[in-house]
Amino acid sequence: MADQPIKAQDEKYCSSCGAAIKKEAEICPKCGVRQSSAGIPKEVSEEGADFLSKAASCCVPIVGLVLFFVWKDSKPKASKDVCKWAIIGIAISVVGYIIVMALGVGAAMFGG
């Protein structure tokens, strides 16, 4: 602890180089490293989901659900995209199921 710099009341130690810096400092003046403290906005991607992710979410809605939870913090726009396509995929499969059922009932009525 001999080389640890003495810090004043309103100072803290840099998370990178350990220098005594102001508590309010966002960036260490010695090493230039950004201090990790609450209030710094996380980097959020504004990119939407790519075509492959949308197609996968539509064909296999569970993929969209998983991607939604993976991306909801870092890629809010992409997570909304896959969520939307997962719902579309579910809707298509429900409609398809109804059509198949209707055709099945029709075939049973006229086929017998």
Residue 17 binds Zn ion (CB under 5 A): yes
Tokens representing 57 are 């979410």
Closer residue to Zn ion (CB): 26 or 73:
26
Q: Total residues contacting Zn ion (rule CB under 5 A)?
A: 7
What residues have CB less than 8 Å from 3, skipping those under 6 apart?
A: none
Determine, following the binding rule CB under 5 A, whether residue 20 of this chain makes contact with Zn ion. no
Q: SS3 sequence, 76-97? A: HHHHHHHHHHHHHHHHHHHHHH
Is residue 14 part of the contact set for Zn ion (CB under 5 A)? yes
Nearer to Zn ion, 14 or 83 (CB): 14
Q: Does 35 bind Zn ion (CB under 5 A)?
A: no
Tell me how far, at minimum, the Cβ of 12 lies from Zn ion, in Å. 11
> CA–CA separation, 11 vs 91, rounded Å?
58
Which residue is listed with tokens 């508590």? 23
**Residues at the site binding Zn ion, with contacts judged by CB under 5 A:** 14, 16-17, 19, 28, 30-31
